[in-house]
Amino acid sequence: MADEQIVDAPPDWDTLAEEIRCPMCDYNLRGLIEPRCPECGFRFEWPALLDPTRRAHPYVFEHHPERNVRSFIQTLLGGLRPTKFWTSLHPAQPSRPKRLTAYVCVTIALLVMTVFSVFVPLTISDLQSTAQFRRRLQVSAKRYPERLDWAVSRYGSLKNYLDIIAPTGINQPMLRRMLDETIGGPQRKLLIVCLIFPIATFAAMMIFQISMSRAKVSPRHVLRCVVYSFDSVVWIGMVSLVYASVTLAGGNMPNPGAALGDAMIIVGPIGGLFFAYRLYVAYRCYLRFDRPFATVLATQVIAFLASLRIATALFMGV
Ligand SMILES: [Zn+2]
């Protein structure tokens, strides 16, 4: 008990030259005894603010540009245990908006890559059959010189002829088919909602916060909560990919796009709930709101309605 009191004891302000500010609202805390900001109401522990060795998080992506890949993976995995993650990250640990933006970009790139990788087996088999077809025509041109003469007289060379009727590599029709199957189905709506949802959540949280006593909380902290909860989309993409691959292997689906759409309709809402849960933990353990559940529930309802409205306007033109 005595030790706890020493740990939580206020600083000796006469000997402390450094300016100590509230990590939430930047209010100057000089002279305070109670570990609670009078401006925004944030409760903290003195050592978290006073100890310089605690200002860098052990692995979070924002703080470790010297090991990008490792810190990205650790942050992504760390988010799977939200309570541990949000109690290890403290608002006094500086937020780096550029690194947060980079984190979002990599997250979206990973989602897109995961979604398109459902086409990998089909693309490989397409490339193999194209190569086989070209070989057959080459053999036939050798066996029947009149066919070779015809190709040369019409297209300049056999290769030119083959390049027109059976182009090698990933070509335009292949890409168009992938886009039509991925972006043309119901998964397009889900993908767009996945991307609009965090933006709508951030906007709803900022509006909601203004209407509450915590209006002074800096947007960078809200952004942090939304960004680290948003990486749920990587897991949504990966689980959807596994689900789609299993249904495709079972022969129940006409094409990879349909299998992916089916998977995302099931996995997407579960991922959405996971996102909301992580946000709730962030509001409880990181921003330390008094009513985190009610706050997150209200913002998620607003974000859901806003995303639905935008998606409807985009797809139905109303
Ligand atoms: Zn404050």
Q: Provide the residue ranges of all domains of the chain, joining segments of one domain with +.
A: 2-54, 75-119+176-316, 121-170
Using the mean position of ligand 1's atoms as its centre, give its distance from the Cα of residue 30 in Å: 12
Choice between 187 and 122, residue whose per-residue pLDDT is larger: 122
Q: Between helices 219-230 and 256-281, what is the axis angle to 10°?
A: 140
Q: In this structure, are residues 30 and 20 in contact, taking their beta carbons and an 8 Å threshold?
A: yes
Place of tokens 């470790």: 64
Using the mean position of ligand 1's atoms as its centre, give its distance from the Cα of residue 55 in Å: 17
pLDDT at 250 exceeding the cut of 50: yes
Q: Which residues make Cβ contacts (< 8 Å) with residue 80, sequence separation at least 6? A: 235
pLDDT at 85: 96
Would you list the DSSP string of 222-242?
HHHHHHHHHTHHHHHHHHHHH
Closest CA to 86 of 225, 236, 268: 225
Using the mean position of ligand 1's atoms as its centre, give its distance from the Cα of residue 91 in Å: 11
pLDDT at 67 exceeding the cut of 50: yes
pLDDT at 122: 79
pLDDT at 178 exceeding the cut of 80: no
**How confident is the model over 272-288, as pLDDT tens digits?**
899 999 999 999 999 88
Choice between 72 and 237, residue whose per-residue pLDDT is larger: 72
Query: The whole model's pTM is what?
Result: 0.79
**Cα Rg, the chain, nearest whole Å:** 28
Using the mean position of ligand 1's atoms as its centre, give its distance from the Cα of residue 149 in Å: 83
Query: Dihedral angle at the C-alpha atoms of 83, 4, 51, 64, nearest 10 degrees?
Result: -20
Using the mean position of ligand 1's atoms as its centre, give its distance from the Cα of residue 301 in Å: 28
Would you list the DSSP string of 32-95?
--SSB-TTT--B--HHHHH-GGGSS-SS-GGG-GGGHHHHHHHHHHHTTSHHHHHHHS-TTSPP
- If phi over 0 gives left and psi between -120 and 50 gives alpha, with beta otherwise, what is residue 169? left
Closest CA to 115 of 107, 125, 104: 107
Using the mean position of ligand 1's atoms as its centre, give its distance from the Cα of residue 214 in Å: 9
Q: Which residues make Cβ contacts (< 8 Å) with residue 211, sequence separation at least 6? A: none
pLDDT at 263 exceeding the cut of 60: yes
| Mean pLDDT of all residues in 171-192 | 71
Q: How confident is the model at residue 4 (pLDDT cuts 50, 70, 90)?
A: very low
pLDDT at 289: 84
Phi, psi at 128, each rounded to 5°: -65, -45
**How confident is the model over 9-64, as pLDDT tens digits?**
788 888 888 888 998 888 899 989 999 999 888 888 888 888 888 888 999 999 99
pLDDT at 212: 61
Mean pLDDT taken over the chain: 85
Using the mean position of ligand 1's atoms as its centre, give its distance from the Cα of residue 302 in Å: 26
Using the mean position of ligand 1's atoms as its centre, give its distance from the Cα of residue 169 in Å: 58
Using the mean position of ligand 1's atoms as its centre, give its distance from the Cα of residue 22 in Å: 5
- If phi over 0 gives left and psi between -120 and 50 gives alpha, with beta otherwise, what is residue 95? beta
Using the mean position of ligand 1's atoms as its centre, give its distance from the Cα of residue 66 in Å: 31
Closest CA to 140 of 154, 155, 130, 151: 151
| Mean pLDDT of all residues in 171-200 | 74
Choice between 109 and 4, residue whose per-residue pLDDT is larger: 109
Using the mean position of ligand 1's atoms as its centre, give its distance from the Cα of residue 102 in Å: 27
pLDDT at 183 exceeding the cut of 90: no
Using the mean position of ligand 1's atoms as its centre, give its distance from the Cα of residue 9 in Å: 19
Using the mean position of ligand 1's atoms as its centre, give its distance from the Cα of residue 104 in Å: 27
**How confident is the model over 211-243, as pLDDT tens digits?**
665 667 888 888 999 999 999 889 988 998 899
Distance CA 109, CA 52 (A): 35
**How confident is the model over 86-143, as pLDDT tens digits?**
999 999 898 888 999 999 999 989 988 888 888 888 788 888 888 999 999 989 888 9
Q: In this structure, are residues 279 and 226 in contact, taking their beta carbons and an 8 Å threshold?
A: yes
pLDDT at 158 exceeding the cut of 80: yes
Q: In this structure, are residues 10 and 33 in contact, taking their beta carbons and an 8 Å threshold?
A: yes
Using the mean position of ligand 1's atoms as its centre, give its distance from the Cα of residue 206 in Å: 16
Using the mean position of ligand 1's atoms as its centre, give its distance from the Cα of residue 227 in Å: 22
Using the mean position of ligand 1's atoms as its centre, give its distance from the Cα of residue 44 in Å: 10
